[in-house]
Structure 1
């Protein structure tokens, strides 16, 4: 059965995680202000049914909690995300099975790949209404402007689809687009992204780049497009692996590109290499306004949509935001893959408060001197986005990396700044990080907060304090006798001052 945005909205409604707002609201600032207040408290998803200036409702905050992201991926518990990561890890670095059980498991994964193959729809819902020529007016789409200092209206959750003009291999990314006129928008992407590479290749051949924007897709497809796992598989196949069955695709009306057949809106256009307009400023994930950059201009000539479509959007900013919840879920998927590539890593964590990628905490099963440095260096090179991680803290496997109390204790008790901190200066960096002295160039720091062993230290390490096992058992047995039965310590969240997944 094909999955779509409206089906997921119904799931949220059935589980009491959706509020329908019938009062009139303005897409300029008001929708984002309402949504932001609920994001801060883990509130429900919102469906605004009476949006000023547009006939279409707006859905926002659908992925505002990790729980809802799990539901989008057909799961109930975050732990299931790691099982998905193990499956992807097997595809990334397959090893010959050594036992019958391993052979059976690998066979199941290969069968999952076969099931994940995309399907084609000849009469897709996304093309029930077709608008072209003078009738095309992007102002009818209820794009939001989140912050008062933003340059204009934006699309934030559109799948931006392009294709390599030499190989024909498509790229699906999630990039911000700014409205420039009734038929044009600018697209903001980093030079290392797939869409930017495709535009450079088109320029070399003197061609325009075809580009399609699919808005209002199943959130599962957004998660697949946002997964930067170095596997030679398409985002469409990822979506099928995530969902357990192939995603339905459809050929665009005017372009040689494929889009999700069940999406709500599709914008079809082209980019002429070298044609740019100023894009920005906009509020970004760092919690500041970004700068103004000349960005490729997209000229749209066709809009298709479902009957009675819903516009799906979100916005960036200081966490918690929906992008931070997505990053937490992706953290779970990355973990088995990271373990497979850096064997000493037991677990890793990207705190939301550190923008979900600026700081990483690794735990390792330390076996030899210098291992923490090796783990930090390996982490920076595993996935492209980890290149932009400024701080890496490496701790022993006994430390709960999701409990900030334990991490701060490790930093305070196991680190000599002269010995255990190393800095890599002038490395390629995120241009949105204003802390860097030069935009696009910055330093990275790793801290070895593990227990030191010779020759890292020339003295014995102290004996850790632990409860006497016999006395601990006695106290537990007499807990009610003390009159403390109402204080059930087994129910206390061990990560009360942090958060676990």
Structure 2
């Protein structure tokens, strides 16, 4: 039965048909030019809707080498429009598609062969000049600061040695040699748990690094699903059918059959090596740290492989767009379903510069004050390092618009009553850092100190307020039609764009406003004259 989900090539074709792919045929240096060129999409006034995916067809390096393979960047999530093409659905259907995938995952199915193993490199072929990892055109992400090319859109496939349950996580990989690649991951991540279990059992820790799988693989791999949940089953849920997998050649793992590239190997359980620095999504260079590394045992790929890279670092970026849709939804599910606060209607994790994790806005529908505090306190425990500034707002406040959120904080929050600071939080993936200065002992223990805190702001209405001081909706809509008829510049509505009641308004005031519309305001004037008092 033919599959209906797109592989990377079909996805690129779909982008091109929609005008969302830009092909670059001139020579581009992967070490100095490639990522900086894409960066201008995110560090300029270019509207999000005008961002594109790029396919570089003539890739070179600083030594003048020409690579056999093109490089695709920004093709998975430079914008919600591109992300929606990858999910093969309209933008407005993305939350529903994720909800279905998380609720109804579909396990992958095994096939005997796939295009990802059209070319196989083993043993001495990996060590030859220009072979091994050298043949892959991995870009330098932050030229001038990164100390090597790093894989970024790289999904590491591993298994729990006890349960056999697969984990797929997206971690960067420092190219250290033709047969060696680093793997940065944080304490508590599932990759690290598998490594520790293998070390305790004294067995090899096998891994497979997948690059350029079907878009749904990347979309599932970057999300924070619970331990024991197979990300490839979530990918199947996104596809609505099983993802096809093939067995690796040198390790006991399965990988997507339609991927572009797979790097197989064994991760050391005996040693860690310094890795980094690397420009990270918290907007700063992540310093050198001790991290795992993998000795490569095989590289398999398609005959005409396309190398796939994320652009990350300062947000917004492709790596933040690709996470945001799923993160927002899973945070919402946590508060509504796991904690049981039904008045929560939306969670917005702020993206520009703050990298989703630090500023969280929780939108609620007619919550009690106690519910608002429950939501804020529960949100601090959603995930390590997530939530430094958390705000609850009413349903009339647009959580995507920080002007709107600040409006709520300014008038609906009394700081000495409506703000709390919660101590004992973990800083998570963020500066400041302790730079690596060498080892004093042979053993390394990871610990995340609870030395941060969270600012909780309850900015919901605690009592009735007067109406918002804008014309009522029907008058603003009529004015918008006139605006268009006059041929004035096209406008996008910015919430709030019409006035509405917030409880402190009665029938008498409503009648007076109606009289003013009719031109009968003198009636109100006469009434008010009868209510005059002497001073």
Counterpart of 1:443 (choices 440, 448, 453) is 453
1:228–1:480 distance in 2 versus 1, CA, 3 Å: closer
Q: Which protein has the larger Cα radius of gyration, Structure 1 or Structure 2?
A: 2
Counterpart CA distance in 1 for 2:481 and 2:496 is: 23
Aligned positions, number: 460
Question: The residue matched to 2:376 in structure 1 has which SS?
Answer: helix
1:236–1:463 distance in 2 versus 1, CA, 3 Å: same
Q: Establish whether residue 350 from structure 1 lines up as the match of residue 349 from structure 2.
A: yes
Counterpart CA distance in 2 for 1:476 and 1:358 is: 37
Q: After the TM superposition, list the runs of 4 or more consecutive aligned residues in structure 1 that deviate by more than 6 angstroms.
A: 478-481, 487-490
* Residue of structure 2 in register with 1:229 after alignment: 225
1:364–1:488 distance in 2 versus 1, CA, 3 Å: farther
CA displacement at 1:484 relative to structure 2: 8.3
CA displacement at 1:334 relative to structure 2: 3.0
* Residue of structure 2 in register with 1:142 after alignment: 137
1:465–1:261 distance in 2 versus 1, CA, 3 Å: closer
Counterpart of 1:73 (choices 87, 90, 95) is 87
Pairwise CA RMSD of aligned residues? 2.7
Conservation of the 8 A alpha-carbon contact between 1:81 and 1:333: no
* Residue of structure 1 in register with 2:28 after alignment: 25
Counterpart CA distance in 1 for 2:479 and 2:325 is: 41
Counterpart of 1:253 (choices 244, 249, 253) is 249
Counterpart CA distance in 2 for 1:489 and 1:411 is: 32
Q: Deviations over 1:101-141 (max 9, x none)?
A: xxxxxxxx5xxx5xx33122212111111111121121111
Q: Which deviates the most, 388-397 or 229-238?
A: 229-238
* Residue of structure 2 in register with 1:206 after alignment: 202
Equivalent residue runs for 1:408-447 within 5 Å: 408-434=406-432, 440=449, 441-447=451-457
Conservation of the 8 A alpha-carbon contact between 2:379 and 2:387: no
Question: The residue matched to 1:273 in structure 2 has which SS?
Answer: coil
Counterpart CA distance in 2 for 1:473 and 1:315 is: 44
Counterpart CA distance in 1 for 2:496 and 2:178 is: 50
Conservation of the 8 A alpha-carbon contact between 1:186 and 1:276: no
* Residue of structure 1 in register with 2:184 after alignment: 188
TM-score, normalised via structure 2 length: 0.80
Conservation of the 8 A alpha-carbon contact between 1:66 and 1:328: no
Question: The residue matched to 2:183 in structure 1 has which SS?
Answer: strand
TM-score, normalised via structure 1 length: 0.85
Counterpart CA distance in 2 for 1:344 and 1:34 is: 44
* Residue of structure 2 in register with 1:172 after alignment: 168
1:159–1:487 distance in 2 versus 1, CA, 3 Å: same
Question: The residue matched to 1:443 in structure 2 has which SS?
Answer: strand
Counterpart CA distance in 1 for 2:489 and 2:416 is: 40
CA displacement at 1:473 relative to structure 2: 4.9
Unaligned runs of 5+ in 1: 92-108, 454-460
* Residue of structure 2 in register with 1:55 after alignment: 68
Counterpart CA distance in 2 for 1:255 and 1:135 is: 18
Counterpart of 2:52 (choices 36, 39, 44) is 44
* Residue of structure 1 in register with 2:502 after alignment: none
CA displacement at 1:479 relative to structure 2: 7.9
Equivalent residue runs for 1:453-472 within 5 Å: 462-465=465-468
* Residue of structure 1 in register with 2:514 after alignment: none
Conservation of the 8 A alpha-carbon contact between 1:285 and 1:318: yes
Q: Establish whether residue 299 from structure 1 lines up as the match of residue 295 from structure 2.
A: yes
Unaligned runs of 5+ in 2: 127-131, 435-446, 498-535
* Residue of structure 2 in register with 1:128 after alignment: 118
Conservation of the 8 A alpha-carbon contact between 1:183 and 1:301: yes
CA displacement at 1:489 relative to structure 2: 11
Q: Deviations over 1:151-170 (max 9, x none)?
A: 11111111101111111111
Counterpart CA distance in 2 for 1:64 and 1:216 is: 16
CA displacement at 1:88 relative to structure 2: 4.8
